[in-house]
A and B are shown apart, each in its own frame.
Chain A
Amino acid sequence: DARVTQTPRHKVTEMGQEVTMRCQPILGHNTVFWYRQTMMQGLELLAYFRNRAPLDDSGMPKDRFSAEMPDATLATLKIQPSEPRDSAVYFCASGLRGMGGELFFGEGSRLTVL
């Protein structure tokens, strides 16, 4: 059963600490998205990769956030330094051309920054 895998599921950290969230897209998918979900802002797109190349990271605070795809099986989202306002659920989603535009979502990483 192919699925997007995200780690960690939950993370509690202190302000100022570095946080790294990881995503394993579905094998063969060539697009990867990072979304952030909060009560106030809803679902916000942070970054978008196609064939491992970053295409759009306009929604990401550049001073503290970074997103990479070291290889086709791993996407990472890093926050350094973390702040309480970063507390949210972070979703990774992957997709493939010809799949009707559908994105497949991971279960999300819930981040709490104290």
Chain B
Amino acid sequence: AQTVTQSQPEMSVQEAETVTLSCTYDTSESDYYLFWYKQPPSRQMILVIRQEAYKQQNATENRFSVNFQKAAKSFSLKISDSQLGDAAMYFCAYRTPYGGATNKLIFGTGTLLAVQP
């Protein structure tokens, strides 16, 4: 069974600094999606960034980028120039491609990020 592990329950960063959140996963599949979702205190789940496993290039979205290491099954999120609005719970998630019997989204336990002014 696929699993997603986030080993950092909490992280803190100074405003304008850079922080990296870690995520590892376990799967026997070769094709899959990886995601980082953000959940602020409003509890709305917001997609931050997505990576397709068949793409070697790391995804980037403005200040957010990932370091995808397929062989190591690692998928870390880097937030550059951290802002107060980045404070939230961040979830790493894995999903098998559409077409499988069950392509559910599997979440890690989350990392709570605090941003210090």
A interface residue numbers (CB < 8 A to B): 33, 42-43, 45, 48, 55-56, 89, 91, 93, 97-98, 100-105, 107-108, 110
Contact = CB atoms under 8 A, between A and B. Distances in A.
B33 A100 contact: yes
Given A42-B107, A55-B102, A91 B95 contact: no
Contacts of A42: 107-110
B31 to A, nearest CB: 10
Secondary structure call for the A interface:
strand
Given A56-B102, A100-B50, A110-B43, 14 more contacts: A33-B105, A42-B107, A42-B108, A42-B110, A45-B105, A91-B45, A93-B45, A101-B52, A102-B47, A102-B50, A103-B105, A105-B44, A105-B46, A108-B44
A101 B107 contact: no
Interface string B52-66: 100000000000000
Contact of A101 (B37, B43, B98): B98
A89 B98 contact: no
8 contacts: A48-B102, A48-B104, A55-B102, A56-B102, A101-B33, A101-B98, A105-B44, A107-B44
B97 A101 contact: yes
A98 B95 CA distance: 13
Interface of B: 33, 35, 37, 42-47, 50, 52, 91, 95, 97-98, 101-110
A56 B52 contact: no
A91 B42 CA distance: 13
Nearest to B105: A103
A80 B24 CA distance: 37
B52 A100 contact: yes
Nearest to A100: B50
Contacts of A43: 91, 107
Contacts of A97: 98
A55 B52 contact: no
